[in-house]
Structure 1
């Protein structure tokens, strides 16, 4: 064979085998030069402080058919194989701790990694809203442990697997049973009392409701269980996972926009609350009038800061398919029109927002009511017993908690107290310095300790803004019962954040509650939008969103119309651009691919 022909054959063989190798895994969509493989691996596995279940227990549990619970690395719930797949854990799940005593927890990538399918190819979008069924996972884990503890024989089998011996010592079995029972009474209580029927479905959960339930129901009750079961409400206001790119730049966050955002300390507040919601340990103690928020608190501050730094590196995903440049240019002109003329720029364009400490410029995040589902606001009006935190307050940052208070206020005190105590301890090189205080019943904090953020250390002065309760979220009855003071006017019930639309093509389904399958559907009047649609990873590049035909059957989203706006599933609202001619809609959709 001639040398030139041989070189050609070898090069062609190399190209073919490389292509075949690429076919075995997902295409990682271009998300900027700062987002590389090492950053991705770190994002998938970084410990943030979640402590769900001991790894040995999880490995020993069985599915209903007898297969190991981890047999498919949780792919049946939509979770994706990742760097720790060799030990059975998918993207966003990690095992932390010494060998033989590792604990499984979740990190933000479990809920913020998207994979879609076009033709025969899979495309991975890091920071995108995951298409996972978190409720099914939580419920099945509860059932698996119920089976393992249903009788002595079942537990003996479970114990043999955990203790890695066919005939475990009876004392060790008894000790294990005590530990399992203590864990299970807490886990079953929150699962049984929180999960709604029908469930959240793929790509959604009631995040705020579950955080409220976790903090008020599992963390602040009397020892040894720390439970206050009556604080746990049915979490029936599902929302879709938001995308993470540009999230640190917003001046507001959380769908109702109740949280100031845009600085490291505000990012930490956002993420500490999230850790508490995914089963981070949180059991504050009280000695007299002193509150210790860091007692048995697993928030990993170093991990949380690194994850926030990683989120800053995740760029908006670039559309990986062809674009009609001329048509997109026409769409850009439509996008930049006024809202009255069907444009998007006023609400979704990149505009300067607040300046956060230290001199960080944010993007404006308008909070507006555009007629969409209002259920999320019912969650914000939940009340709960304050337990061990009765009377607790953070000097200069929060007001004393009443015996029964808003769950929102209990979470605010918990998060701000946790961060403040950590920062003060770190700044003073002290391993233990309490930050929170409490008052005697009927008393009030001294004038020198009233809410006045300017008296906090500079690094903490933005922190009280991490929780600004929307006035519209509490009914008059609730406000009267809690003796809440009148506050400045805030957006009405049903007002949600409007984000810059970079990478919006990768965030279907749409609206805050995931009730609209595609951007093409969103440009239709609510009365013409799909009442029900299959949901899954198959992607429609023409309509930009969830494809109407899904290879994975059984996942269907049922929505309601404008006559049931508080269902949690209403497809109503956001009728901007719905009266545009079809040619203009097509052009606008083409432009949205380029953002």
Structure 2
């Protein structure tokens, strides 16, 4: 992530020149989705030609295979390598994760992390559990260097943030904290950080990307529910160091529409067969064991938005312990938080129990994506220490990713390929915690509960 955003700083593009062509009777939400696909709201990262040629810096034997492949095969290799996807909503060879202007300049967009597939099918608004940002940024850095295009450095005193340790995760928070550290309340870039940062811990926060369709249920955002839900808060992730306050102001109308779209996204229906008798029994298990935290789903339903203390939930503590409170206050007291008008909950001490709409599609589970299936979540002592997923497989029985389980990464795996293995011993990636209601359920009750969760 750090390398990607440093690379993006090479050429800032003028946002004032961007326009969204009007469409008849178009809602704000429809306009917001079209904006993501057609309007480059960030800074230039590369060109479409660069994306077509990035394979030229791949390590062997991947480079030789790409060289011998047809253009279509090479594109599929590129998409698979980085966890990108094409979408029917935008014809052409550019994946949904990027947006190009009329000159072929390419910017990354929100769908890099918030657009992904389940069982091989692109699912709008789903967190991208295949994204491989570290491999992409490494390749792009080599490609640009090979073509004599060195990136501009970040501000000298900008706090450094970590690269993602494995695919399927992002460290967007490390980037956002670094960006905001170098901006005052009015978003002017400063020479020194505006709040203290304990590097590297407070800028090494790998998390799984949640699906957009959960937003409509919430009044507060993020895994610890630390701030009220607004369109400005989602903008902080594009405040790369070269973006000016004027450009931020010009972006705001676009983000109002994007925010409207985010809150209109619907969860996908489970595509397989459901044992309705088991699901009815599972509903009773759910109401007894889960509803008080995760809400109810009959009729209008209800969602309590409860924050569960860390010592109760017991999941990986990094996001709670190392996330700087000073950053939260700086964010809320400045432009992003409308100078204090947006509600702030700076020290929640735990993780919010999320809504479970579309939970079948939202594997892997927990805030760091450390548990590959719902069965594993309900069977904590059997959770794998290391696992490797298939790209398109889905385990309908266990409800989650199709994975191979390991006690350790096999010998001989290259450093690059190690990123494909989820390793729960790494910082921030523990699969501990959330042991309830598993210890109180029989095997049959777990099966019934999973069938019910498929209906949400």
Matched, 1:468 2:328: no
Structure 2: where are the runs of 5+ without partners?
A: 1-25, 406-416
How is 1:24-423 mapped onto 2 (pairs within 5 angstroms)?
42=34, 45-47=37-39, 49-55=41-47, 58=50, 62=54, 63-65=56-58, 72=75, 74-75=78-79, 76-82=81-87, 88-96=93-101, 99-100=102-103, 103-117=105-119, 122-130=120-128, 131-149=130-148, 183-186=151-154, 193-196=160-163, 199-217=164-182, 233-234=199-200, 235-261=203-229, 266=230, 268-276=231-239, 279=240, 281-283=242-244, 294-297=245-248, 300-337=251-288, 343-350=289-296, 363-369=303-309, 370-381=313-324, 406-416=326-336
CA offsets, 1:514-559, max 9 Å, x none? Answer: 111110000013x331111113432111101111249xx8621011
* 1:508 partnered with 2:363: yes
Partners in 2 of 1:282 and 1:364 — Cα distance? 38
Give the number of the structure with larger relative contact order, counting CA–CA contacts within 8 Å between residues 6 or more apart.
Answer: 2
> What's the offset of the Cα at 1:328?
0.3
Q: State whether residues 33 and 258 of structure 2, in contact with CA within 8 Å, keep that contact through their aligned partners in structure 1.
A: no
Aligned to 1:529: 383
Contact conserved, 1:319 with 1:594, CA < 8 A, in 2?
yes
1:510-589 aligned within 5 A = 510-525=365-380, 527-535=381-389, 536-549=391-404, 555-560=420-425, 567-579=427-439, 580-589=441-450
Secondary structure at 2:257's aligned position in 1? helix
Q: CA deviation at 1:144?
A: 2.1
In 1, the alpha carbon distance for the partners of 2:263 and 2:335 equals: 22
Q: Give the TM-score taking structure 2 as reference length.
A: 0.74
Contact 1:272 1:415 in 2 (8 A): no
Q: Which has the larger radius of gyration?
A: 1
Distance 1:48 1:301, change over 3 A: farther
Q: Residues 175 and 237 of structure 2 are in contact (CA less than 8 Å); yes or no, is this contact kept in structure 1?
A: no
Do the aligned partners of residues 329 and 280 (structure 1) sit closer, same or farther apart at CA in structure 2, a change above 3 Å counting? farther
| Secondary structure in 2 matching 1:111 | helix
How far is 1:407 from its partner?
3.3
**2-structure distance, mates of 1:236, 1:312:** 29
Structure-2 separation of matches of 1:94 and 1:318: 28
- Pick closer, same or farther for the CA change 1:48–1:575 going to 2, 3 Å: farther
SS of equivalent to 2:320: helix
**5+ long unaligned stretches in structure 1:** 1-33, 150-179, 284-293, 338-342, 352-360, 383-405, 421-435, 437-452, 454-462, 471-490
Q: CA shift at 1:53, angstroms? A: 2.2
SS of residue matched to 2:126:
coil
Cα distance in 2 between the residues matched to 1:236 and 1:547: 28
Q: What is the deviation of 1:253?
A: 1.4
- The Cα of 1:142 is off from its aligned counterpart by 2.1
For residue 386 of structure 1, what is the aligned residue in structure 2? none
Backbone CA RMSD of aligned residues: 3.8
